[in-house]
Structure 1
């Protein structure tokens, strides 16, 4: 059974983000919040790959390409947040999230579910932005009426 390109590229986004954050943790760089922001590179890669695959298949409808690109990024973000949820509980649950929130944008003492829900919303917002930016970039590839 062949996976749809949106799920396949979403899994690639998830794997890229997962390996990136694990590597940052191993190298002791996880406290540098600006390095955490570079995970958007993996979302750009997966979404761009989906759009390029659609264009190679002859799909030039911007709406269907935007839906496909958005689905790719949402799959990647959702899997990444699910991976963070599992990893957080494996590393100590709320105590682990407190170490994350001390160096990130959260104040107070968020729980693991609260932290993951906030990151899910942030990830979906970044997915919309990445999709729109790449759709504008690839706009000249569509047939003009």
Structure 2
């Protein structure tokens, strides 16, 4: 059940990330790196909604690691889909994005900024790590308030 919810909300979160990127592209704001902060906001909304949906599915008896797993699945799915979209975007004609990220010296002076390196380091690591942290923080709120051993009187 948690995987199904994670896939659903991962897909919805990826759509949000793609729409946001395309909106920034149309408005000519892709070069403003600081606006990537809103990718984290979109990820946070997706992860929290996924955990909340899972909690509702299990009648508010959410296990800590199941909830955390739901958030992580959501983050990995959304980041993977968004990364595939970005690789396609760069391959089709968005090489200026790779050059811009290289100019920002994300990769140091020795690493050649190929689309694969950019997508893996910037998007995958950033998305999965931020998604994990968001899921961890969200589970502090969603975890069960009672700390009883299941089945104990």
Q: Same fold (TM over 0.5)?
A: yes
Equivalent residues of 2:7, 2:77 under 8 A apart:
yes
CA contact (8 A) 1:33 1:103 kept: no
Report the alpha carbon displacement of residue 23 of structure 1 after superposing the two structures with TM. 0.5
> What residue is the counterpart of 2:131 in the other structure?
127
Extract unaligned runs of 5+ from structure 2: 149-153
Count of aligned pairs? 141
Cα RMSD of the aligned pairs, angstroms, is 2.0
CA drift at 1:100: 3.6
Counterpart of 2:71 in 1: which secondary structure? helix
- 1:28 is displaced (CA, Å) by 1.0
Specify the alignment match of 2:151 in structure 1. none
Aligned counterparts of 2:56 and 2:38: Cα–Cα separation in 1: 28
**TM-score of the superposition, structure 2-length normalised?**
0.82
Tell me whether 50-59 or 111-120 shows the greater mean CA deviation. Answer: 50-59
Which residue in the other structure is 1:89 paired with?
Answer: 91
Gaps of 5+ in 1: none
Q: Tell me if the contact between 2:13 and 2:42 (Cα under 8 Å) persists in the aligned partners.
A: yes
Q: What's the TM-score once normalised by structure 1's chain length? A: 0.86
Are residues 104 and 52 of structure 1, via their aligned partners in 2, closer, same or farther at CA, if it must alter by over 3 Å? farther
Match of 1:37?
Answer: 37
CA-CA distance at 1:84 after TM superposition? 0.5
